[in-house]
Amino acid sequence: MLTELLSGTSRHGGALLGPLGIRYVVAEEGDVPPGVTARFADQVDLDLVPAGGLVIYRNERALPR
């Protein structure tokens, strides 16, 4: 799943992660290589959530509990 998302062939990473119940992708600033950050930013259904010191992408497509 992450391979598909990071390869650049998908624009709907949230739809790939949603069935697994993944609602957020979280990392500390500087821990994620710039290329990976760019791939996450290209996803139409993953939203960057501002947070001091963290990089957080919220998945709009996560299945409800």
Residue 5 has pLDDT above 90, yes or no: no
Token pair recorded at residue 9:
């062939």
What pLDDT, on the 0 to 100 scale, is given for residue 61? 74
Polymer length of the chain? 65
- Cα–Cα distance between 54 and 64 in angstroms, integer? 24
Where do the domains of the chain lie?
2-59
* pLDDT tens readout for residues 13-59: 999 998 888 999 999 988 989 888 899 989 999 999 989 889 999 99
pTM: 0.80
Q: What is the C-alpha R_g of the chain?
A: 11
Token pair recorded at residue 49:
């959530």
Q: How confident is the model at residue 65 (pLDDT cuts 50, 70, 90)?
A: low
